[in-house]
Amino acid sequence: MPSEKLKEKNVKENILEQLKEIIRDAIREATYEYKLTLTIEEAARYTGIGRDKILELAHNNESGFPAFRVGTKFLINRELLKEWLKKVAEERKVL
């Protein structure tokens, strides 16, 4: 019997950890929607463009990509990103 109780306890603890992670992700997502700037990873999720391509665009000053640096970190202006995406789509550019 003690073995079964231990297994049940482990299952409950595992479920609790999974729920905590789901809640953390939900909070992160809700907060993310109101941010004025996005990180490279957030911009990749937001646009569906791969992380490496977003990083490449951010490094390329000729791309017109709305990224700027804070120290070594790139940030992307959300509103300018929307405009940039619209322009890229209208011009039917290949990235």
CA dihedral of 69, 71, 72, 74, whole degrees rounded to 10: -30
Q: Is the pTM for the entire model greater than 0.85?
A: no
The pLDDT, as a whole number, for residue 32 is 64
pLDDT digits (tens, 9 = 90+) for 19-78: 999 998 888 777 666 789 999 999 999 999 999 999 999 999 999 999 999 999 999 999
CB 94 within 8 A of CB 56: no
CA dihedral of 89, 90, 94, 95, whole degrees rounded to 10: -50
The pLDDT, as a whole number, for residue 8 is 85
The pLDDT, as a whole number, for residue 11 is 87
